[in-house]
A and B are shown apart, each in its own frame.
Chain A
């Protein structure tokens, strides 16, 4: 219900926002096209109607699942985006996987031994992860690992294998080699985030009475860490990583342009550059929908994991 309202409000905002910028015909048309050809193009793209009528036409079709036709590809915008989606999804999940894989153990260590030099090193490095602009790190990675050392390919998606009619690169060796650098690039920020959340969570939980009690009871430190502490800190980490999935997919715009990764983020930048409005609108609305779904899922998971929230909701 509320989600429906959010979608409708966003569709209006996004549509008006996107359609207020620039003049696609001016961008798309050959510069030597005469007035006659320009008018034909304006009609062909449906831009001759007043804005509100364009929105109503769009809304009417959107309700039937048609988000318009790309100006430059002459194919349904949804179809274009879906074609590019697997590439972005595997990049986003790859980077989330890396961020948990690297971030959680490091954060745990830093939280359990806050005063050791290693922990201080971890925390200092995590600050770097927040600080470095993604695009700059991306080029550094290419410079070092592809150009100087020649270990990994610099750009593109490499070989793909097909399952269920979709092509994935994590199924081939070449594909994995291609995905590694962009996934690291995209995960840097989240690794730092996971480290910090885990450390903060561990430090707070260690001071909680039930943990003190568990320790006083003489439970082994490992058991205390992995059962009592770990379970408790998972909540914020799950929430944030879950919420970050949408952000990751959106932020892959930058990584994808640096690494020429043919996903949705690259598509949206290309589409903005040529003002392919139907694709921009369709993409943004899909992102909104995804965020709504993610928030919903996180809420549910959160409720399952934290009894306090459940009580709160009942109260």
Chain B
């Protein structure tokens, strides 16, 4: 017994050396099975253990992963050329067989609460040309296939033939081609990793990684300040001001892909449940169907005040889905300017010179400061005569009700793929089972002309042409105030002196993004 204690104590002291990275993340990892649950924290861990055909860089651009290159050799056939000499952690060689096996496994993971099947469904046929060339046929031209495959982690056809999710979680099956190997997985607490010395890409900077989960924001920040961890993600905005001035800590920030926006009830032409006149009586027609009312409510919001005061600078005001520098960002859509006078005029024009009453709903435990943002908007709307009540609920209650279109106005967020068609398809397009669109269109906006344009854009293989079309469609959507974007969040990591983080637009916290800082 005493020996155990001594040995552990020794191990504890040794692991404190410079070769170990301890990072704390805010969201719990639930599974090491890369195809079980499509969830950012799980994807982050998968990105350390496994590789994809198409990897993504810090700016969310597609870069060669296990595929060295890819081209559409016919309008409906993509060919991927695979990297040679790559081995799995257990020594198995990576070949096209493994890709075919992976594509077949993805839709068939038992009990998956959110599978990756949607990313491989466009593939109608897989053809192995030779061990290092593979072709995918799609139903008609499908420009997004490389993008979709950047979500699929490649497993080994022999090792993983019978692998269950439990075996991944327990460790023996968590074998990939990625930059790190798994040492230990303590569910909900920590994941211990070691460097994969044979990694085909850039070697990771640290020999060992202790990847801890600390979901409480303040506790995570305190752990960094106390020196227990070297890097944290999801830095709480309340602590930003202090951390910015703390010489022991360096922040790494980049504009992310998550837009926070307001959605209005488009589904009801008659009375909408949470809008009444100033005496509390229902209004026979839904004022939110009038584009002037929607625009007035958007103009009444002082986005700069929200990003500076509530978000403490960790967000950028926006009038669209995507930030500058991302494919299909529209340079000529500015964040709507704050204009309370103009908003009052527009309301009067729309027949509401005295305003009305509304309840603004939102979650209070989902996005940074979500509850505070809706209160701030409540203040701003009340000032233009729209007396606003705030109802913030837990995400679990909120999202179920929002999904049933029970609210008149609500705040919610969306993390985009770096492609304008992704938010357009899911947030703006009419809900359609056949097309698989409008999946998160909780305001039920619907504009058939826009959808037709989107169908055309999604069949355009030429990137430049498709980008032009997607920009035009976004202009159309925001001209009609389909939703009201507020801001795009900034992703922030904080590191102790001696560590340097490359911030990622996709929010993933990866150990390979951290390096020892250059000596100062």
Q: Establish whether residues A154 and B187, one from each chain, have CB atoms under 8 Å apart when the complex forms.
A: no
Q: Establish whether residues B113 and A41, one from each chain, have CB atoms under 8 Å apart when the complex forms.
A: yes
User: What range describes how many residues of B lie at the interface?
Assistant: 35 or more
B148-166 to A contact mask, C-beta < 8 Å, 1/0: 0000000000000000011
Closest Cβ neighbor of B218 among chain A residues? A139
Residues of B within 8 A of A38 (CB): 439
In the assembled complex, B304 has its CB within 8 A of some CB on chain A = no
CA distance A72 to B113 in the complex (A): 7
Q: Establish whether residues B400 and A23, one from each chain, have CB atoms under 8 Å apart when the complex forms.
A: yes
Which parts of B446-487 form the interface with A (CB within 8 Å)? none
CA distance A72 to B38 in the complex (A): 10
In the assembled complex, A28 has its CB within 8 A of some CB on chain B = yes
Residues of B within 8 A of A258 (CB): 216, 218-219
B3-36 to A contact mask, C-beta < 8 Å, 1/0: 0110011011000000000000000101101001
One of B212, B219, B399 near A259 (C-beta < 8 A): B219
Least CB distance, B239 to chain A, in whole angstroms: 11
CA distance A153 to B436 in the complex (A): 49
Residues of B within 8 A of A257 (CB): 215-216
Known pairs A74-B165, A154-B219, A172-B8; A34 contacts B118 (CB<8 A): yes
Q: Nearest 9 A-B pairs (CB), nearest first?
A: A34-B436, A262-B189, A28-B113, A260-B214, A74-B165, A23-B400, A146-B226, A22-B396, A29-B114
Q: Establish whether residues B188 and A171, one from each chain, have CB atoms under 8 Å apart when the complex forms.
A: no
CA distance A292 to B471 in the complex (A): 64
Which parts of B325-377 form the interface with A (CB within 8 Å)? 365
Q: Establish whether residues B115 and A40, one from each chain, have CB atoms under 8 Å apart when the complex forms.
A: yes
Q: Establish whether residues B187 and A30, one from each chain, have CB atoms under 8 Å apart when the complex forms.
A: no
Q: Establish whether residues B9 and A73, one from each chain, have CB atoms under 8 Å apart when the complex forms.
A: no
In the assembled complex, A27 has its CB within 8 A of some CB on chain B = yes
Residues of B within 8 A of A73 (CB): 30-31, 165, 169, 187
In the assembled complex, B397 has its CB within 8 A of some CB on chain A = yes
CA distance A174 to B395 in the complex (A): 36
Residues of B within 8 A of A174 (CB): 8-9, 12
A237-279 to B contact mask, C-beta < 8 Å, 1/0: 0000000000000000000011110100011001011110000
Number of interface residues of A (CB under 8 A): 61
Q: Establish whether residues B188 and A30, one from each chain, have CB atoms under 8 Å apart when the complex forms.
A: no
Q: Establish whether residues A142 and B219, one from each chain, have CB atoms under 8 Å apart when the complex forms.
A: yes
Q: Establish whether residues A154 and B228, one from each chain, have CB atoms under 8 Å apart when the complex forms.
A: yes
CA distance A257 to B37 in the complex (A): 24
Q: Establish whether residues A150 and B188, one from each chain, have CB atoms under 8 Å apart when the complex forms.
A: no
CA distance A157 to B227 in the complex (A): 15
Least CB distance, B106 to chain A, in whole angstroms: 12
Residues of A within 8 A of B223 (CB): 146, 153-156, 260
What would 26 A/B residue contacts be, using CB atoms closer than 8 Å? A21-B396, A22-B396, A26-B400, A27-B395, A30-B38, A31-B414, A32-B118, A32-B425, A35-B439, A44-B111, A72-B31, A74-B111, A80-B187, A146-B226, A147-B226, A154-B219, A154-B222, A154-B226, A155-B214, A155-B223, A155-B228, A173-B9, A174-B12, A257-B215, A272-B396, A273-B365
Residues of B within 8 A of A262 (CB): 186-190, 213
Partner-A contacts on B (CB < 8 A) = 1, 4-5, 8-9, 11-12, 28, 30-31, 33, 36-39, 110-115, 117-118, 165-166, 169, 186-190, 212-216, 218-220, 222-223, 225-228, 365, 394-397, 399-400, 403, 414-415, 422, 425-426, 433, 436-437, 439-440
In the assembled complex, A45 has its CB within 8 A of some CB on chain B = yes
Residues of B within 8 A of A155 (CB): 214, 216, 219-220, 222-223, 228
Q: Establish whether residues B188 and A75, one from each chain, have CB atoms under 8 Å apart when the complex forms.
A: no
CA distance A185 to B403 in the complex (A): 40
Residues of B within 8 A of A157 (CB): 189
One of B8, B31, B222, B225 near A161 (C-beta < 8 A): B8
4 new A-B contacts, CB < 8 A, other than A84-B187, A262-B186, A262-B187, are A34-B437, A37-B118, A44-B113, A266-B188
One of A37, A83, A84, A156 near B228 (C-beta < 8 A): A156
Known pairs A22-B400, A34-B436, A173-B5; A270 contacts B215 (CB<8 A): yes
Q: Establish whether residues A44 and B110, one from each chain, have CB atoms under 8 Å apart when the complex forms.
A: yes
Residues of A within 8 A of B118 (CB): 30, 32-34, 37
Which parts of A16-74 form the interface with B (CB within 8 Å)? 21-38, 40-41, 44-45, 69, 71-74
Q: Establish whether residues A45 and B111, one from each chain, have CB atoms under 8 Å apart when the complex forms.
A: yes
Q: Establish whether residues A74 and B36, one from each chain, have CB atoms under 8 Å apart when the complex forms.
A: yes
Known pairs A36-B433, A41-B113; A23 contacts B403 (CB<8 A): yes
In the assembled complex, A143 has its CB within 8 A of some CB on chain B = yes
Residues of A within 8 A of B113 (CB): 24-25, 28-29, 41, 44-45, 71-72
Least CB distance, A70 to chain B, in whole angstroms: 9
Residues of A within 8 A of B39 (CB): 30
CA distance A23 to B402 in the complex (A): 11
Residues of A within 8 A of B112 (CB): 41, 44, 74
Q: Establish whether residues A275 and B436, one from each chain, have CB atoms under 8 Å apart when the complex forms.
A: no
Residues of B within 8 A of A21 (CB): 396-397
Closest Cβ neighbor of B224 among chain A residues? A154
One of B9, B30, B436 near A35 (C-beta < 8 A): B436
Least CB distance, A301 to chain B, in whole angstroms: 31
Q: Establish whether residues A72 and B30, one from each chain, have CB atoms under 8 Å apart when the complex forms.
A: yes
Closest Cβ neighbor of B440 among chain A residues? A31
Q: Establish whether residues A22 and B397, one from each chain, have CB atoms under 8 Å apart when the complex forms.
A: yes
One of A35, A74, A267 near B433 (C-beta < 8 A): A35
Residues of A within 8 A of B215 (CB): 257, 260, 266, 270
Least CB distance, B480 to chain A, in whole angstroms: 22
Q: Establish whether residues A75 and B397, one from each chain, have CB atoms under 8 Å apart when the complex forms.
A: no
Closest Cβ neighbor of B426 among chain A residues? A32
